[in-house]
Amino acid sequence: MTGSGRGVRVSGGALAITIAVMLAGCAGNTGNGSGDPGPQALSAGETCQGIRGNLNKLDKEGVPSLVERQNSGQKLPAAQKAKADLYNQLLDKYLGARCHV
């Protein structure tokens, strides 16, 4: 029983170290020259909620699977490629503006 207890402590310790390193990395990315440009401004009239709504609509249409196919190197018909590209653009805006935070 002693052996399994040590395993739990080691795993817990490894988890604690991993979390500490991740938090330190996040704390260091404040947009002050550490490689993180900070949140990007949305264009006039754009909102996080509006972008999220468009992403949800595209999710329901199955566009993420098109994005996966495109990312794996498969050719898509023009209409599907346009939807996949739009999804990627919206996701870049959503994440860049830090709407997910």
- pLDDT tens, residue by residue, 63-77: 999 999 999 999 999
For residue 87, the one-letter residue type is: Y
Is residue 16 scored above 50 in pLDDT? no
Q: How much is the pLDDT for 39?
A: 80
Spatial separation of the C-alpha atoms in residues 23 and 48, rounded to whole Å? 25
* Averaged pLDDT, 6-18: 45
Q: How much is the pLDDT for 63?
A: 96
**pTM of the prediction?**
0.62
Q: Per-residue confidence at 38, pLDDT binned at 50, 70, 90?
A: confident
Q: At what angle do helices 63-71 and 78-96 cross, to 10 degrees?
A: 100
- What the block records as the tokens of 25 is 């990395």
